[in-house]
Amino acid sequence: MSLSYPLQVVNLLAALLLLISFAMLSQRRVVGLITLFAWQGAALAASTAIIAWSTGQHHLYYSAALTLILKVIAMPWFFYRIVRQLDVNREVESMLNIPTTMLIGIVLVIFSFNLALPISQMAGTVMRSTLGIAMACVLLAFLMMITRRKAITQVIGFLAMENGLFFAATSATYGMPLVVELGVALDVLVGVFVLGIFFFQIRESFESLDLKHMEKLREK
């Protein structure tokens, strides 16, 4: 089966998304993580735009533009600023060592391809095969959230998870209805804003963004 040219580019970008997810798992520095997050957003925006162009789904142009503005420009800029102001760009302390994390990551990818298989067979979209990749991105971001200790890396993990979900929506159904997508984008924006305030509060009280100080509340 030969694939059309735009579709090949989309598949390439999907592979890139997965690669970036793995790179994020192995990245040790916060600034490097933010750069990778920006690249992931860029790959997502590009693939959404290409899908919009090749299938004539015009509303996807808006989502691509939203992704570009929010996740490639606004949020990375905001995070860079926070990192500079709070001076947290030291090595990221991971709870598991990196090779182990990577191995777990590979298992997750296999699992998500298996999970996505029955669904993607039902999908009527041209890039249904990328659904597995989208799910893998979600799970890898989830893994990053679990294994990292710093508040800011957890948030980047959360946003990377959102990227994966967004990609899943695009590849399974050409995206959600526009009003829902706008709502989700608004929520994410407000969420990041709230977190910005929050980082400063945490920093003020603990003089660090390391979450190991935040383990007082648990069942005795």
What end-to-end distance do the CA atoms of the chain give, in Å?
Answer: 60
**Residue 41 in contact with residue 159, Cβ under 8 Å?**
no
117 touches another protein (CB under 8 A) = no
Helix axes 151-173, 30-55, angle to 10 degrees: 10
Residue from 119, 196, 208, 210 touching another protein (CB under 8 A): that is 119
216 touches another protein (CB under 8 A) = yes
Measured CA angle at 186 (ends 184, 190), to 5 deg: 120
CB of 72 to another protein, least distance (A): 20
CB of 46 to another protein, least distance (A): 21
- Residue 8 or 207: which CB sits closer to another protein? 207
**Residue 116 in contact with residue 132, Cβ under 8 Å?**
yes
Query: Using CA atoms in the order 149, 66, 180, 153, what is the torsion angle rounded to 10 degrees?
Result: 0
Query: Using CA atoms in the order 100, 103, 107, 108, what is the torsion angle rounded to 10 degrees?
Result: 70
- Residue 7 or 138: which CB sits closer to another protein? 138
CB of 147 to another protein, least distance (A): 14
- Residue 5 or 198: which CB sits closer to another protein? 198
Residues near another protein (CB under 8 A) are: 118-119, 122-124, 138, 142, 145, 151, 154, 158, 161-162, 165, 168-169, 172-174, 176-180, 183-184, 186-187, 190-191, 194-195, 197-198, 201-202, 204-206, 211, 213-217, 219-220
